[in-house]
Amino acid sequence: MSKKGKTNIFITGGHLTPAIAIYSKIKDIEDINIYFIGVKHTILFDRALSEEYKFASSENIKFLPVKTGKIYRFLSIKGFISLILIPIGFIQSIYYYIIYRPKIIVSFGSYVSVPISIIGGIFRSTILTHTQAIIPGLSDRITSKFAKYVFISFRESEKYFNTKATIIYTGNIVRKEIFSISSNTFDFKNSLPLIYVTGGNQGSHRINELIFSNLDILLERYNIVHQVGSNTIYKDFEKSLEYQRQFEKNPGGYISKTGIWRNEIGKILNKSNLIISRAGANTIYEILILNKKAILIPLPESAYKEQSKNAKVAKNLSGNILVMEENSINRNNLLENIDKMIKQKQISRKTKLPDGAEYIIIKYILKSY
């Protein structure tokens, strides 16, 4: 239960980066209590802890776990179980709402944000939602129906919303940590080019497999920092540790991690000569802001081909980006394009992107309480 006289704020959603940025700016306001509401484990059937849970625990933030589900576009046992979890998520959200009575709910997308946003909207909490993707997913569009303010990262997103909410173009929220290069975690004892491989917070098994299959050649030419994720089903992190031992005498160094810490992200992003990544909205925005060379491999099953659209827009904005679709990528053409991108001359960014989105959103949070 909250302390008397304080305003309760829920932060929810599957996009942790902007959530952290907003939290860090409002956490010291004396007359508010902040709660994170989300999933405790990464994916269905996986016991690995979610990044939002780990962050909340590290910051001593009250975390309210929900076991909710999402709608899959194909029939499967996993999809059926996920559907069953949806009403459970609503029941839990009603319980949390009754206990904590949040005046403001700030949503950062994904299915986890839907139940509490609907419940909050029905009971007249102020809902603010920020969408990172160019094509908003079903969760974003549902939440927007109950929101007072909808913040968008790309102008192209506005046409996809059918809502009475006020739509405000802010650009994406950028972690200030990406500009810091103080960490010495990724210092190598050679001058080889550095490749940073990431599949997002949860990692990408497919990208991991492609990198593993090329490690013998890649480590003859490059240093690699590989964020493999914490998924316990495929055990990719355990495999990566074996590869570290196997190739420890290669010219290039290999560092594998389940995730990149906040104090490390600026160093690896700025120091890398090439980034290989999925095409999530937060990732591509940071790549564009820093004007880095990148190979984007969009997640093929993302809703409405969201990541493919993200990658296409990013490529149009920067000549330093190459897009490779997963269904056409293989060991050989990935290696060929890595060599090509490393050798390619850096190209100046075509368009200036808006910065400071978090300050606009915070202005509306303060206005609402």
pLDDT in tens, 145-177: 999 999 999 888 999 999 999 999 999 988 888
pLDDT band at 42 (very low <50, low <70, confident <90, very high): low
Which pLDDT band holds residue 73 (cuts at 50, 70, 90)?
low
| pLDDT at residue number 1 | 47
More confidently predicted of 268 and 306: 268
For residues 100 and 230, give the distance between their C-alpha atoms in angstroms, rounded to a whole number.
32
320 vs 329: CA distance, rounded Å: 19
Domains 7-171+355-368 and 178-343 belong to one CATH topology: yes
pLDDT for 144: 97
Residue type, 136: P
Which of 129, 111, 105 has its CA nearest to residue 18?
129
User: pLDDT, tens digit, for every residue of 188-218?
Assistant: 999 999 999 998 777 899 999 999 999 999 9
Rounded to an integer, the average pLDDT of 320-340 is 96
Task: Flag whether pLDDT at 368 surpasses 60.
Answer: yes
Q: Looking at residue 139, what is its pLDDT? A: 92
* Domain locations along the chain: 7-171+355-368, 178-343
Would you state the pLDDT for residue 44?
62
Taken in order 38, 40, 46, 49, the sign of the CA dihedral is positive
Read off the pLDDT band of 230 (50, 70, 90): confident
Which token pair is 186? 């990724």
Residue 100 near residue 74, CB atoms below 8 Å = no
The pLDDT, as a whole number, for residue 349 is 72
Section 25-48 average pLDDT? 85
Does pLDDT of 45 surpass 70?
Answer: no
Q: How confident is the model at residue 240 (pLDDT cuts 50, 70, 90)?
A: very high
The distance of Cα 142 from the centroid of its chain, to the nearest Å, equals 20
Distance CA(57)–CA(341), nearest Å, equals 39
pLDDT band at 80 (very low <50, low <70, confident <90, very high): confident
Mean of the per-residue pLDDT values for the chain? 91
Global pTM value = 0.75
For the domain with range 178-343, which CATH number is right: 3.30.479.30, 3.40.50.2300, 3.40.50.2000, 3.50.50.60?
3.40.50.2000
Q: What is the pLDDT of residue 212?
A: 97
In percent, the amount of the chain with pLDDT more than 90 equals: 68
Please report the pLDDT score of residue 303 as a whole number.
Answer: 65
Q: How many CA atoms does the CB half-sphere of 101 hold within 13 Å? A: 7
3-state secondary structure of 164: coil
List the end-to-end C-alpha distance of the chain, in Å, as a whole number: 18
Q: What is the mean pLDDT of residues 352-359?
A: 86
CATH superfamily label, 7-171+355-368: Glycogen Phosphorylase B; (3.40.50.2000)
Q: In DSSP terms, which residues pair with 225 in a beta bridge?
A: 196, 255
Q: Which amino acid is at 27?
A: K
CA–CA dist 80, 66 (Å, integer):
18
Of the pLDDT bands very low, low, confident and very high (cuts 50, 70, 90), residue 302 is confident
Q: What is the pLDDT of residue 74?
A: 67
